[in-house]
């Protein structure tokens, strides 16, 4: 068994799932936990099963007997609620089949149980309904006007925070050791490593994030991972697979810096810098300078993908984009040709 989660969620009037909250999702469960789930739910593929109070009580008792007290307590807490409850069981890493399955996968990432690209997220957009995220939880858009009117009649104002397929990560999990100045700018499914600071203009998409001890004042697009010790300056961006990067997985190495209003469309290696205001795409022509500041070769930026200790800058005299390295001409040529 790959994973499972027991949670409660919200349905619309058509009894369609809008969202699911898993208080304690389990990744790669022990054989004892997997046996408990298998014995109660005879499934042969990834499956979501709605639960009643008796099933929850039985599971809580068995989890406690197996020494999993936290999981038992989280399960027991769901017995009395009137909200719909569900167990989602992942036997294999395959495209998602239901809304509860998508929510489990996203929360596994945000709980730091798996890293971005660590689980199959194919097909999730068709399974994530676009809903109103409000002060009273997720509401189906067709049902929103009636709910707003009912709130006004009762003397309340129903606050609509946003209309989106993805909710705020912090409404589901707040990882240990992070600072998030504006929680609406971090989507569920983000991986925020311990020690990361995300300032007000920072943004982290789903299936993306930071390893830890990073300063994020720019945009981490879907699919992008930022290495520990790196700094994304104000207004900068990383080109994700949803914003033009195609199938190239963009990443930023350790202890790197992307300056304010700059951006990258190639994977950066460790200890790299991109000058403020400079956007490097895969096709950008770059003059590569050796340790004597002599141009060795002009290449497309994709040929420098993943190389360490590069400083990308724009020449103030002739306007060309340059990459400065600490390697000699011979070493640099060898590295470039090995990359072809």
Q: What is the DSSP string of 25-48?
A: -EES--HHHHHHHHHH---SSSEE
Q: At what angle do helices 53-65 and 69-76 cross, to 10 degrees?
A: 170
Other Cβ atoms within 10 Å of 85 Cβ, number: 21
CA 54 to the chain's CA centroid: 35
Active site residue 322: no
Can you tell me the distance from the alpha carbon of 174 to that of 95, in angstroms, rounded to the nearest whole number? Answer: 26
Catalytic-role residue among 143, 217, 228, 297: 217
First and final C-alpha spacing in the chain: 41
Rounded Cα distance between 75 and 22, Å, is 10
**Measured distance CA(93)–CA(14) in Å, rounded:** 29
Per-residue CA distances from 52 to 55, 56, 68, 72, 87 (Å): 5, 6, 21, 15, 11
Q: How far apart are alpha carbons 18 and 45 in whole angstroms? A: 22
Phi-psi region of 255 (alpha: psi -120 to 50; beta: other; left: phi over 0): left
Nearest 10 degrees: Cα torsion 221, 172, 159, 204: -10
User: 305: closest CA among 335, 340, 267?
Assistant: 267
- Residue 125's alpha-carbon distances to 4, 103, 164, 242, in angstroms, are 21, 11, 11, 12
Catalytic positions are: 217
């Amino acid at each position: 068994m790959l994973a499972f989660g027991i949670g409660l969620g919200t349905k619309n009037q058509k009894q369609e799932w809008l969202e699911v909250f898993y208080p304690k999702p389990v990744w790669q469960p022990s054989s004892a936990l997997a046996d408990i789930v298998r014995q109660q739910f005879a499934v042969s593929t990834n499956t979501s099963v709605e639960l009643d109070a008796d099933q929850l009580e039985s599971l809580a008792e068995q989890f406690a007997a197996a020494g999993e007290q936290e999981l038992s307590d989280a399960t027991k807490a769901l017995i009395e609620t009137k909200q719909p409850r569900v167990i989602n069981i992942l036997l294999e890493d395959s495209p998602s089949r239901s809304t509860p399955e998508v929510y489990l996968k996203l929360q596994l990432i945000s709980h730091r149980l798996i890293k971005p690209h660590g689980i199959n997220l194919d097909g999730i957009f068709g399974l994530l309904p676009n809903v109103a995220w409000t002060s009273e939880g997720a509401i189906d858009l067709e049902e929103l006007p009636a709910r707003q009117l009912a709130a006004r009649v009762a003397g309340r104002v129903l606050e609509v925070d946003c209309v989106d397929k993805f909710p705020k990560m912090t409404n589901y999990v707040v990882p240990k050791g992070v600072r998030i100045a504006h929680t609406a700018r971090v989507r569920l499914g983000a991986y925020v490593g311990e020690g990361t600071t995300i300032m007000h203009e920072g943004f982290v998409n789903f299936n993306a994030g930071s390893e830890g001890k990073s300063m994020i004042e720019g945009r981490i697009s879907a699919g992008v991972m930022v290495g520990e010790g790196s700094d994304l300056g104000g207004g900068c961006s990383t080109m994700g697979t949803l914003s033009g990067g195609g199938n190239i997985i963009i990443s930023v190495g350790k202890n790197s810096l992307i300056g304010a209003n700059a951006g990258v469309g190639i994977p950066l290696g460790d200890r790299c810098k991109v000058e403020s205001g400079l956007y490097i795409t895969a096709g950008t022509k770059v003059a590569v300078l050796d340790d004597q500041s002599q141009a060795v070769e002009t290449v497309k930026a994709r040929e420098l993908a993943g190389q360490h200790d590069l400083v990308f800058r724009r020449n103030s005299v002739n306007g060309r984009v340059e990459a400065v390295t600490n390697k000699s001409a011979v070493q640099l040529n060898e590295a470039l040709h090995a990359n072809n």
